[in-house]
Structure formats: C-alpha cells, structure tokens
Structure 1
Amino acid sequence: MPGTSARPVGRGRDGRVRLRFDGWIAGIGTSSGTRMVLGLWARSPFGPFSDVMLERKDGHRVLLAPSAQTARFVAGTYVFDEVRVVPVGVEAGRGGWSVAAPPLDLRFVTGGRGPMGLLLRAVPGRLAARPAWAVLVAPAARALLGVRTHGSAGAGRYEWYGAKDLRPVTGARAVYEGEDLGSLAPVEPPVRFGFGSTPRRPCLVSVTTTVAVEANRQGTPAR
C-alpha cells in the first residue's frame, strides 16, 4: 500500500500532541504458539514504514522495527522483552502478502470481506478515524471482536483505534530464526504488547491509530 504525506500533528483539549498513523494491521497466530502483529503504515509522522510485533509461546515479546527512531517510538508505546532494528519489507498483491524482516519470513493470504468488513466500510472514513468514534463503538468492538478500541499506553500515552475495513486471513506460513512456525491458528492467548490485542480470528484490518503524547516526548521527526 503506497503512502505519500504524513497526517498533520494536532493537539487535543488536554494539551497533548496527537499523532496519526494510517495503514493496516494484521494479527496472525500459528500452530507453534507464536503470534504476530504486522503494522503497515502508509502515512505516519515518520513517513511510510512497517513493523512487526511477535510473541513466542513462552511469552518472549520481540519488536522488529526498520529504524532506531521508529523502534524508540513503538517501544515507548508498547512493552517488549527484545527490540531489533532490521529492514522490514512488505509486499502486497493479489497473490497475498509477504513480509521479510530478518529473522522473520512471513507470507499470508486474505479472504473475501465478510459482514463485519462490510459494516466497517459503510462508515465514512473521516468519522471512523476520530477518537470520539473509537470511544463510541468500544462496547460493540469488545462484544463482537474481543478487542479494545482505546486505552492507556506506555510513557503516559493514550491510543485510539479506528477500524475502517476487515478481511479474514485464510492462510499463513512463517519462519522465525530458521524455525517453521507451523500453520495458521487463532491469536490465542491474546498478545501482551499493550492494553489491547487483535481479534482472536486472524484478520487484516484497515485502521487509523491516534496516539496522544506529551508535547516534549513525541519522538517525532524535527519539523
């Protein structure tokens, strides 16, 4: 998904800076017990980038990020046991998605949009991206998908997730550090990177994520 300019940085009523990230999140489980969350951000304060959050069966949490700057920001928002700065390449096409982020090689395919995807697509994009909308739909998201759409994050930050589309992931294969992680499986138990997880059923979600940070702790590029 190509990206161009970043969303402008705004400010909330509480005085905190609000940063917007537009892109896709894929939540994938494997039969080995390893669960992965891919973020593909077409527009962000850092420009286009992708990152992978990975939790092993033993609970070890790893962040794979493409630069020291993005690694600092993501690791400041979520919790990891290990942070690696590595190239993260993502290709999306009709044949599926491929992710190369040494030591991870991930490939997955998605199915047709279901009722939930159609419902999300019916909401105007500008409305879905607003933090107030994420708060309004939070009870339904928790009941239907088992996810939270807003909550406190690390370093005094606060996040809102505005979903705009959803497609099921129907197949996946992954290799991590030379180990085949097995076949596609539910994202279970939930990943423990932050206040929320992804849906139990593997899926790909179009989303606008808004992060409120203290003005002197943004970690964003100098303007």
Structure 2
Amino acid sequence: MGMRWIFDGHIAGIGTASGLRAVVGLWQESPFGPFADAMVELPSGRRILLAPTAEVADFIAAVYTFDESRVGNVAARHTGGALTLDAGHLRLRAALGARTALGTAARLIPRPLAVHPRWLRAVNPFAALLSPGVRTAGTAGGGRREYYGVTDLHRIDAATVSWDGVDAGPLADVRPAVGFGFSSVPPRPGIVRVRTTVEGDPVTRR
C-alpha cells in the first residue's frame, strides 16, 4: 500500500457559461495543515493548478494532471450559505442551496464506513450511475490509488466567477467533465463534504 495521505474537508465543483470549470478544495485537515486550492480548466481545455505553497503544488501535481501550476495566495471561506475564493487569477462568490437527494442518502451511511477505501472500491461501479463522471476509487498519478468518501452534498444555486478579471458568465453545469484525474465532480454545481485518501509511493520534490 505504501504511504497514506488523508485530506478532510470540502470540494466544490463549478461550471460557467463561458466553458471555464473549477474545482475548489477546502481542507480543514491534511498532511499540510488547513489550506485551499483550485483546479481550473479553461474553455480551451488548458488545466491550471492554483496552490498556496510549492509543497502543496508538488503533491497535487504528482497526483493529478495539469498543464501548468501556479503558486500564490489562495484564500477560501465556507460559512453558512456562501462560498468565497480569492486565488489571484480566479475569484469566486457562490450561494449554496439545499442538500440534494444524494446528500441525504450519503448521510445515512455511518461515516467510518462511508470514507473507508474498501467500501469505496465496492461502490465505485455504481457511482457513475448515480452521478455521471463521478468515481469513488481509482488510480492517481504515479500509480497511486485514490478514494473519495462523500458524506454530504449541497447544491450551488448561483455564482459569480472571474478569471484574470474577466467575468466567466453565469453558473452552468460542469460540462464537459473536468480532466484532472480519474473522477470528475458531479455535473450539477455543488459542494460535497469529503474525505480524500491517497495511497502509494512518497511524493518527491520536482
């Protein structure tokens, strides 16, 4: 199995009318302490990582696939019914909505089971049937294994998103699916409570 890294927090998936799509991670617990990051896929298909430190950028870039990594301040806040992100090139203001049916179902599963890799391997074949493009277990960069244990899901009902100061247009579905790793976020914009587990060889500095 090798080493195991655990990240506990939230992942938000956003689509826009311009075709820009973003995946924002807000990690309350991680091997690097609390932090936020953003993965952006531009309408051209170019994939860019925005990370707060070189150490975090190196780890994420070893697990996922990007055309470019940029290190700089990434400030995110998830309070009540709102999500905000200021990451230099990317700015986001989102209004969160009600818990979805999948979120309600996820909360019925005891958390220790819901985040366990063995359970996530077992339910992986059914994940895409419930939410197209989504997987709960798969292979990450460098032959590592990765698992997503979701325990809640809320809609994102509205958002303003800008890239390099240019408005990306109204909120839209995340289509096409993002191509950072083996799994996309759900097509409908939303924010999930999640534990991400990565297993495999150590990540070395580039």
Which bin holds the TM-score, normalised by the shorter protein?
A: over 0.9
Residue 88 of structure 1 aligns with which residue?
Answer: 74
Task: Provide the rounded CA distance (Å) in 2 between the counterparts of 1:186 and 1:26.
Answer: 12
Residue pair 2:18, 2:169 contacting (<8 A) in 1 also: yes
Displacement of 1:142: 1.0
Residue 130 of structure 2 aligns with which residue?
Answer: 144
Secondary structure of the residue aligned to 2:118 is helix
Note the 1:73-84 alignment, pairs <5 A: 73-84=59-70
Any runs of at least 4 consecutive aligned residues in structure 1 with deviations exceeding 6 A, and if so which? none
Match of 2:165 among 149, 163, 178: 178
What is the TM-score with the length of structure 2 in the denominator? 0.96
Match of 2:34 among 48, 59, 66: 48
Q: Does 1:61 align with 2:35?
A: no
Note the 1:177-196 alignment, pairs <5 A: 177-196=164-183
Residue pair 1:53, 1:64 contacting (<8 A) in 2 also: yes
Sequence identity (%): 47
Residue pair 2:62, 2:203 contacting (<8 A) in 1 also: no
Alignment-mate amino acid for residue 194 of structure 2: V
Q: Does 1:202 align with 2:185?
A: no
What is the TM-score with the length of structure 1 in the denominator? 0.89
- Judged with a 3 Å threshold, the aligned counterparts in structure 2 of structure 1 residues 119 and 56 are, in CA distance, closer, same or farther, namely same
Q: Does 1:110 align with 2:96?
A: yes
- Judged with a 3 Å threshold, the aligned counterparts in structure 2 of structure 1 residues 219 and 107 are, in CA distance, closer, same or farther, namely farther
Q: Which 5+ residue runs of structure 2 have no aligned equivalent?
A: none
- Deviations 1:12-50 (CA, angstroms, capped at 9, x unpaired): xx3x11111101000100000000000011101111111
Note the 1:18-37 alignment, pairs <5 A: 18-37=4-23
Question: RMSD of aligned C-alpha atoms?
Answer: 1.2
Task: Provide the rounded CA distance (Å) in 1 between the counterparts of 2:17 and 2:49.
Answer: 20
- Deviations 1:91-139 (CA, angstroms, capped at 9, x unpaired): 1223511100001110111111122111101111111110011112212
Residue pair 1:131, 1:160 contacting (<8 A) in 2 also: yes
Q: Does 1:134 align with 2:120?
A: yes
Task: Provide the rounded CA distance (Å) in 2 between the counterparts of 1:218 and 1:128.
Answer: 26
> Which has the larger displacement, 55-64 or 109-118?
109-118
Alignment-mate amino acid for residue 147 of structure 2: W
